[in-house]
Structure 1
């Protein structure tokens, strides 16, 4: 993969705005481990290697088990996820693929059964932010750095 454009260099103001949005999501009501789990699933859905590479170690550092990360792509079939995680992942997928899903009532009902109204809004912002980051990274083909453990 060849990088199309270094968006950090091309528009520092746009990146600064994205970083400010990201920083604000850290102050919201959604716990760090759940935020990272959602970021991983959205990035899987969008095929964003840059964000997956970034958020996997962050998720583990936040306490997300390796087993959850290993089965995340098949979360619906795994008993590893609790009701809140399932609701968040369902909502994340529904919003990420909104052109196909239309944000179904069933996903919204699961969301509102597991989260307060404030948490619903906060989670939606987290989902929107990672989708935006994915679109920068995938659209401009941002290469992820190789870690020393990458073979």
Structure 2
């Protein structure tokens, strides 16, 4: 009987250890966004059609609008996914000494179409020398 009493703590440890195991698979909300897209970009004075790839990056909510990037500027713009919404936090990219593009915006996903409203500022020093507001419709094809 005393031998069985020694096994009780071991049995409790095994049961508690097994009950802490997570049987629910991890779901990454970014998976809804990842893929290749055809982009139809309307920036007021001009429109543009191009392709890009969205891929995961960094922490659990970051995605990258891969090359050529939004606005076909050649920069990989970062977006933050929150459910079915994407936010482009303010981020700057150097295009010449003391001249930057500054991106910001937001968008939403509906099935395979991601609609992004974003703004591109051209900043020289501390002056905004150009401001472009764009609406991009990204249609996932893969």
- TM-score between both structures, scaled by the size of structure 2: 0.24
- Relative contact order: is structure 1 or structure 2 higher (C-alpha 8 Å, sep ≥ 6)? 1
Bigger proportion of residues as strand: 2
Largest Rg, 1 or 2: 2
Bigger proportion of residues as helix: 1
